[in-house]
């Protein structure tokens, strides 16, 4: 019943052409939740060891002093100070332009992702890998907070750009940049020995779901001339 009400609300007062975009977003959100549920079930059943060991061994086979330095820089993209600063700056910028809904979306993406990370780690309480940690890390491991928060925030930033840009090339470039950054941050957590690969994938799944939910609920945007932004 709640899901049906959410679908009806999301289609209310949609701009022309945007209704067709909602169905893929619902499908994507469902896939993300399903992926996380499968990972959580395998975690509780002890079925992730083979996958985690294989991917971790492969990633850490490339270890070198130079690459470690880069990974330490990349992983800081998901740190609390940087994410907080980026969120505050973006929200102030959007509110200054009177883009109230987009500012709210960024706020919800950031705060909501931190809350989800906190609650889910308490639920699963998975210890971190028994490997040398190349960067400080405390607390539980599943899901990866860096993967969850960066995917939610960077993808929502890309979504906001998408909502206000009429350039297909610009949209594609921004989305590709967001995907690349999220992938690199996730890989860095495995490389640095502070997360299992399944932690990272679970974080991506939850972050992707959170972004898609925000995108579903946000009202369509308009260009400065008052015309609707094409969803294609």
DSSP secondary structure, the chain, as one string: -HHHHHHHHHHTTPPTTTHHHHHHHHHHHHHHHHHHHHHHHHHHHT--HHHHHHHHHHHHTT--HHHHHHHHHHHGGGSHHHHHHHHHHHHHHHHHTT-HHHHHHHHHHHHHHHHHHHHHHHHH-PPPPSS--SS---S--SS-HHHHHHHHHHHHHHHHHHHH---HHHHHHHHHHHHHHHHHHHHHHHHTTSS-HHHHHHHHHHHHHHHHHHHHHSPPPB-TTSPBPP--
Q: What pLDDT does residue 6 have? A: 44
Within a domain: 195: yes
Q: What pLDDT does residue 222 have? A: 55
Within a domain: 224: no
- Give, in order, the Cα–Cα distances in Å from 197 to each of 73, 129, 186: 19, 10, 8
Within a domain: 118: yes
Q: Which residues share a beta bridge with 70?
A: none
Q: What pLDDT does residue 165 have? A: 76
Domain tally, the chain: 1
Q: Which residues share a beta bridge with 160?
A: none
Range of the domain at 39: 22-217
Within a domain: 14: no
- Give, in order, the Cα–Cα distances in Å from 70 to each of 44, 122, 186, 187: 34, 31, 13, 12
Within a domain: 232: no
**Token code pair at residue 43:** 């975690």
Within a domain: 89: yes
On whether the CB atoms of residues 162 and 171 are closer than 8 A, the answer is: yes
Within a domain: 229: no
pLDDT tens over the chain, length 232 residues: 444 444 444 444 444 445 557 788 889 999 999 999 999 999 999 889 999 999 999 999 999 999 999 999 999 999 999 999 999 999 999 999 888 889 999 999 999 999 999 999 999 999 999 998 999 888 999 999 999 999 999 999 998 888 887 778 888 999 999 999 999 999 999 999 999 999 999 999 999 999 999 988 887 765 444 444 444 4
Q: What pLDDT does residue 16 have? A: 41
Within a domain: 140: yes
């Amino acid at each position: 019943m709640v899901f049906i009400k959410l679908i009806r609300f999301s289609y209310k007062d949609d701009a022309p052409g945007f209704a067709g975009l909602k169905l893929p977003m619902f499908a994507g959100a469902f896939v993300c939740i399903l992926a996380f549920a499968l990972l959580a079930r395998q975690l509780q059943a002890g079925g992730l060891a083979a996958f985690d060991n294989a991917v971790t061994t492969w990633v850490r086979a490339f270890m070198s002093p130079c690459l470690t330095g880069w990974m330490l820089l990349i992983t800081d993209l998901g740190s609390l100070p940087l994410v907080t600063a980026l969120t505050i700056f973006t929200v102030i910028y959007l509110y200054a332009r009177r883009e109230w809904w987009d500012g709210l979306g960024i706020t919800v993406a950031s705060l909501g992702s931190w809350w989800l990370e906190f609650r889910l780690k308490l639920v699963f309480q998975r210890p971190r890998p028994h490997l040398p940690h190349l960067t400080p890390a405390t607390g539980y491991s599943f899901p990866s907070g860096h993967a969850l928060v960066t995917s939610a925030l960077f993808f929502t930033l890309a979504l906001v750009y998408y909502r206000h840009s009429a350039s297909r090339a610009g949209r594609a470039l921004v989305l590709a940049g967001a995907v690349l950054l999220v992938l690199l941050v996730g890989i860095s957590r495995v490389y640095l020995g502070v997360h299992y690969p399944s932690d990272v994938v679970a974080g991506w799944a939850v972050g992707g779901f959170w972004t898609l939910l925000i995108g579903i609920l946000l009202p369509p945007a308009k260009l400065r001339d008052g015309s609707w932004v094409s969803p294609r």
